[in-house]
Structure 1
Amino acid sequence: MYKTVCYLSTPSRNLSILDYEALFYTIKNNNDRLKIYGALIKTQDVFFQIIEGEVPIIDALLEKIKTDSRHKNIIEMLNQPIDKPTFSDFGVGYSIINHDATIRAFYKYINSLESNKTPSHSLFCNIISKLINVDV
């Protein structure tokens, strides 16, 4: 059984671009090893993350995220079972969000929320649109 979790948080301190690249590299390696899928978007003042995977792994990761000192003010927006991960073929490790495939993956995710009658669909659509600066 799989689960998806989405959350927003605020970075607790400013890291350098090299620090963020090292962080994303570590996250990607851990996620690949644990078969965790998803996306992490960081803007100047917000982290938006989608994580998907097997329920016990995602539950343990979420608890770890909640105690991570690199961010604060975590707002859990979605935590629900799913049939299969939406981002399992999402091969982007660290990327500036301007690639068509990246944007399509986000909208595929949003559409899956809509088709599953997720109440937060329009909220996610607005958040992602603002974070990647596109019109919906």
Structure 2
Amino acid sequence: MAVILTIRDETMTGDVYNEVPLEFPSEQVTVRELIRSRVYEEVQTFNRQQDNELFNGLVQPTDTEQILNGRKTSYKLKKRRQLDWKEQYEKATEAFARNGFLILIDNRQSESLDEVVTLGADTNVSFVKLTLLVGG
């Protein structure tokens, strides 16, 4: 049975700044599949927009400049082009492995890409990007 799940981007304080509905063919998915579906959808959405140079995605594409807009991070392409979802997916799984972002499922942190999650109508999935602190 297909499950529609709304994935949220949150700040470290729990403020939601982006929501993306995704459909999964089964109630059982891995964290890897959550990431893949999310990245695929955001890249397809960007590629359908003809005149947009700003990509609002989980990880930064190659040849872009990071732009901070309040709580939300966007990436400005130096030259408008189609993005490759597989390349973005690889970057996202690498970022997850090095703690570039957290995935919270019902307020519990996922620790492995191969962790199996049971999705339901009330399942909460949040992506929380971690920001490196700069200082001396």
TM-score, structure 1 as length reference: 0.30
Flag the structure with higher strand content: 2
Higher-Rg structure is 2
